[in-house]
Structure 1
Amino acid sequence: MDLIGQPAATPATGPTIIDGNQATFMQDVIEASRQIPVLVDFWATWCGPCKTLTPTLEKVVTAAGGRVRLVKIDVDANRALVAQLSQLGLPLQSVPTVAAFWQGQIADIFQGGLPESEVRRFVEALLKMAGGTMPAADLLAAARAAQEEGDIESAAELYQAMLQEEPEKPEAWGGLIRCFLAAGREEEAEALLAEVPAKIVDHAEVAGARSALLLAIEGKQASGQLRELEARLAADADDHEARYELATALNATDRRAEAAAALLDIMKRQRGWNEDAARLQLLKFFEAWGLDDPATMAARRKLSALLFS
């Protein structure tokens, strides 16, 4: 259905998650969808995937902040409704089935269990169709969650969606650059960094991504020399240059605690070596990892103990 010219969705004033049935379907779904997009979750008590999908739907709908409603329909308790909808062409032979309604008609549908990132993408597409968007804070949370789960593609798409809405969002720029880095695409990350608006170029999120990029480039050059560097240190424990390069290589392979330990070891052996290069590199690590990263906090405590001992 062509929705051009239809009114944009407005946030719901009532409950956003409800249990529906045959008696309330017209009011809860068809009529309500003229004001707000409505997801209908057709489920059953015996359905294993439903037990995972329904909580995910509830989480995503709650995060949408009243911009979409979820109506849950138990297919076994509403067989007459299921038969009626099936006659209208809605495939309900298997569950879970999720149908999206907007302006009184079916706008989209999916069947089977989906991961949270895919459910968010489905809801975001529905909201765009209805003239709305997911709240930026929830897009950011979803992007970071996808990134932590290793779903770099979904994270990048979410960051890009944020930038379409807010071109000067530093968290989105920093996150997108890190996605390119995680995919091993340093040149594209560098090109993206050059496009960051001047207004936010020194923001902590962007600065952290910049440090991560520089360390990735340095580490790529050193990571192939791990055995050689370890051999140099075995021959001479005071080869600070080898230990410094080893720290960079370890960081490139995400061995953060070991990387920090190598730099701290240099500082213990020779405070101020090479114009304080070890400490400055460690601070660069902190910036790249993030100030609230467990590796940062652990290494910072050790650095403080060393500096003030």
Structure 2
Amino acid sequence: MQPRNMSMSGVVDLAAVKAAGEAKTKAEQTRAEAARHGGTPAVTPSALVIDVDEAGFERDVIQQSAEVPVVIDFWAEWCEPCKQLGPLLERLAVEYNGRFLLAKVDVDANQMLMQQFGIQGIPAVFAVVAGQALPLFQGAAPEAQIRQTLDQLVQVAEERFGLTGLQVDADAAAGAESAAVPAGPYDALLDAAVSALDAGDLSGAVQAYRNVLADDPGHPEAKLGLAQAELLARVQEMNPGEVRKNAADNPTDVEAQIAAADLDLAGGHVQDAFGRLVDTVRRTAGEDRDAVRVRLLKLFEVIGSEDPRVTAARQALASALF
């Protein structure tokens, strides 16, 4: 799914504040002190991904962010997009070799942290740099765009804050890279789908996901990927201003409301998209109503059936229908 808030405007603003200079000075002092004592101990690749809770947040995230950018992945076991994004972030944390630290926060067990960061939906990804928090993106996203965001993050962290990251044990890193991971039966097709998404080939991604589902109709990653790729394909050629004006001017036009709901969801406005279509179901009947209902069910697949926003929207849909 197209990432939401996939921009580093927060980092750019952060670079201008006084904290940047102070953090850079502190980082330089920390490195100098470590050098006098024989240098900072190298960490293993496995130490680049940590589970964090409310009790250890100050130590594991805030304090660590004075040495390395900390990327926070807010997730939950019931969240299907989280199961797609989480392993990708973990792999990138090892690949970036200490340039950022990945902290994983289970929102079900850490509701206070979720509230403090103002999170409305997951997966949600934030960063903390020199004690300063900023949003990166929300929702699963193509790997190429995630890499672009991480590259910008580590660049700003080094240039503005002097944070060069953690030293990783070279021998341990080599061992981690050489460890063989058995390929799953659909890994090649799923990799092809991701590559197509990264290249902007939405039709190719759709076909790759359909190839998986033709053999395994219940494959969760392929179902999620297909729903997201189809959504992106639908909104790719839309003119957002025209679509939204058409929907506002024609509240009973089913196609206008469906198109606007697609834009809402692609832009991260999940509840707006669901609410728009539920309201349209209430105003329509017959084939029009069924068309809206079918599209709403497709949008549920983009987010994942276990997301609480989907659960609430299903209940609203049932009420509107019956």
State the TM-score, normalizing by the size of structure 1: 0.46
With normalisation by structure 2, the TM-score equals 0.44
Higher relative contact order (CA 8 A, sep 6+): 2
